[in-house]
Structure 1
Amino acid sequence: MINLYTWATPNGRKISILLEELGLDYAVSPVDLGKMEQFSAHFSAISPNNKIPAIINTEPDRDPVVIFESGAILTYLAEKYGQFLAPHGQARYNALEWLHWQTSALGPMLGQLGFFAVRSQEKSPLAIARFTEEAERLFSVMEERLANHTYLAGEEYSIADIACYPWVQAATVYFKEALKGSFDTKPALQRWLKRIGERPAVKLGMAVPTL
C-alpha cells in the first residue's frame, strides 16, 4: 500500500494524478502547510527538506520504500509499474528532460511569481517583473514544443506532462493579472491543457487531498 503525504498544491497533485493514472490503491495523509505540519518530527523523518509530496510504499516481505521530491517519486512509480516513462531510448530521455525542466525551472519560477505577485503583502515591482518575464519565457518554450508534438516527450503522454500540468493549470487561475492574457497567444499550450485536463485520472488526482 502506498501512503501519499500531500497537500493541495501543484507539487502534491503531480503524485495523486500519477497514482490515479496507474489505478493504484493508496492512502492519503494530508500535511497541512498552513498549520506548518511539514515541520513535524514525523514528517521530517520522511521528508528531510520539509516539503510535500512524499510517499511510503509498504509491500509484504519487503522493506518500505520512502521517497521525497516529486520528480523522484514520479520516476519511481513510472518505472515500478511500467507506465508513462519509456523503458529506454530517446522517448525515455525526452520525458526525463522535461520532467527535470519542470522541477528546476517551471515550478521554481512560478512559485516565486506566486509569492511576489499574489501572496506577498508588500509588492516588489522588480521581483514581479522578473518572475513574470521568466514565466512568459517558459510558457513560450512549452508552446514551441507543443506546436510540433502532442505531448512534451513526443507523441506519448508521460510523467513530464503529469509534472507540468498542475503548475500550468494553477497559473491560468491564480496568475491572470500578472500574466495578462499570455495564454491567449499560445494555442498549442491551450490544446495541451485541455487534453490533459479532460483525462478522468487527472480530474481525480487534482481533487486530492479532499479539504
Structure 2
Amino acid sequence: MRLSPMTIRSGIESQISLQWPLENNKAIYNSKHFSHDSNLAEKAGVYLPQYFGDFAVSDYDAKKKQFFMLFYNMAEAQTCDRDYFIQRVKLTKTAFDINGKVIKKDKQYLVEIMKTHDGKMKRGDRHIKRYSLNGAYTRHLSAQLEIGCGEIPELTPTQAWPFSPSKLYKLAQDYSSQRGLYDQIDFTFSYAYSYSFMFSKDGNHSVTWPEFVNNAM
C-alpha cells in the first residue's frame, strides 16, 4: 500500500473532474468544491489559491480564534483484488483550560469506502479541518487513520464496487462516539498514518503532518 501527497491544486482538481489535471483555472474557481474549501480557509485568514503549489496548508487566526488545515493524498495498491479501499479514522479531541487541565476529551470513529480503478483511488483523499477554540484555552486534535484492502462483512460482500456505479465514495459511518463499523473491518493489508494539531488562545499553534507529507515539503 502506497500513499503519496498531492498538491492542493491537484487535490481540488481531482474532486472536480475525473479528467484532471485541469488547465482552465475558471473551472476550478467556479466549482462548488473550491468555493466550500476556500470559504473555510478564509475564516482562518487563509487565501487558498496562494497554496495551490504546496502539499499542505495550515494557519491560525488568533483574533478570530479559527484554525484551518488541508492536505490531499493518493492511495494505490496494485495487488488489491477489490474495486475499493476502506479507511477508518479515530479522531481524538482534547480541550484544556489556561492551566493545562483537561476540561473535555472525546473520541470519534469514522469509516469510509473509496472507489478505485486498477488499484488506485479515482480521486484524491481530502483531509480538511476548521475549528474554533469553543470556550477552551487550548485545543488539541489527533487523527489516527488506517487505509487498506479488505472488507466489511455484509456491507462489502463482493470484490466489485457494491454501491451505485456513479458514486466514488461511500460514508459507511460518520463520526460517532460509538466504534461500530470501525472494529468490523477485515483488512488483507493496510497502511496506518496520523496527523495532529494544536492551537491556543495565546496564538501558539502547531501541526504534525503524516510522514509522507513531511517528506514532500
- Pick the TM interval, shorter chain: under 0.3
Higher helix share: 1
Comparing both chains, which one has the higher relative contact order based on Cα–Cα distances under 8 Å and sequence gaps of 6 or more?
1
Higher strand share: 2
Task: Report the TM-score, using the length of structure 2 for normalisation.
Answer: 0.25
Task: Report the TM-score, using the length of structure 1 for normalisation.
Answer: 0.25
